[in-house]
Amino acid sequence: MQKPDREQGIAKTALALMSECGVPATPENFELFYAYASGETPAVSKVMGSLIAGRQAFTPELLSDLRLRCLSSARAARAMDSLGTGINEVMNGVLSKLEAAGRDTAQYQNTLSAASGALGADGRSPEDLCKLVNGLLAATRDMEERTKSLEGELQRSSEQVHDLRSKLDNVRKESLTDPLTNIATRKEFDDAVRTAMAQCAETAEPVTLLLCDIDHFKKFNDSWGHQTGDQVLRLVASCLAENVKGRDTAARYGGEEFAVLLRGTGLDAATRVADQIRQTVETKKLVKKSTGDVLGTITISIGVSEFAPGEAVEDVIRRADACLYGAKQNGRNLVINQNDTRIAALDNAAA
């Protein structure tokens, strides 16, 4: 099958799947389903295959999360592979040039040795000596030209490598940054948590976790559309970035949920930071750009837990999640930490 025919077939399959799953035919959704239909992105194939087989509903939040988790990392991986190949090609070119230069140098040395022997021989006529000297001068000029050419080629290769490495660094940074909100991705956050926990075990430095969730986010999406929902996500992310400094990490955890890692900050101080974030978000007004109409006030709920040296990451996340649930159950637009008595009340009610 010709390549265009194959791509057309994949596109038809993707559109048919989107229709079957009740997914709006937007460019972003098409990219996701095309990646699944092509089978060229293992992460997408695995996750979406399971969802389709289980007939799970593809909500806007789920689709956003899939794009965030699967497509961004896949695009970054392809870009990094391409740039890595480019660097290898340039380096191989440099090695070939150096090998050729080595052969040229060896040949020139042989010419000099031969000339030296000829000059030392008896019975050379002035014409022979003149011819020999002219030959040496010509060989020297050729060697100088080849050396100058090599220097230019190596300089260009060095600039190419520098440019490719700069692009590679940018791709790495982009792969760790959520493209919608411009804060850290879940992967970057997970890496930061592992690093912080290792240092916590060594130094007993306090480390705390904030899990944040946008209140009534689905209502914004349903009432005003996904573009407005994206605007809400960006607004909350900017509030997190404003209040998180230094070694701390703010990340989009998934969908409308965010996470903040605070290093060197105990539970009480972390709770104050969380409340400062909550208040910052509450002061923001969501405005429709086309009309200037105020669409409403955004609020978030936050759960706060502190790492204990030696405990599993899952345990501290579970506590923060329980606190976040407690904040939701107690009216939203609230911060609750792991020592809050309202958490114990919820646990007793569940029991």
Q: Annotated active-site positions, please?
A: 256
Would you state the structure tokens that stand for residue 31, as one six-digit string?
């990219």
CA distance 186 to 304: 18
Alpha carbon dihedral 96, 97, 98, 102, in 10-degree steps, equals 100
CA distance 316 to 256: 20
Which residues, 6+ apart, have CB-to-CB distance to 247 below 8 Å? 263, 264
Of the candidates 290, 81, 295, 313, the residue with the CA atom closest to the CA atom of residue 194: 313
List, in sequence order, the alpha helices (H) in 176-256: 186-203, 217-224, 226-243
CA distance 165 to 157: 12
Of the candidates 86, 64, 84, the residue with the CA atom closest to the CA atom of residue 76: 84
CA distance 264 to 257: 23
CA distance 77 to 81: 6
3 state SS of 213: strand
CA distance 291 to 340: 43
**What secondary structure does DSSP assign to 43-88, as a single string?**
HHHHHHHHHHHTT----HHHHHHHIIIIIHHHHHHHHHHHHHHHHH
Which residues, 6+ apart, have CB-to-CB distance to 349 below 8 Å? none
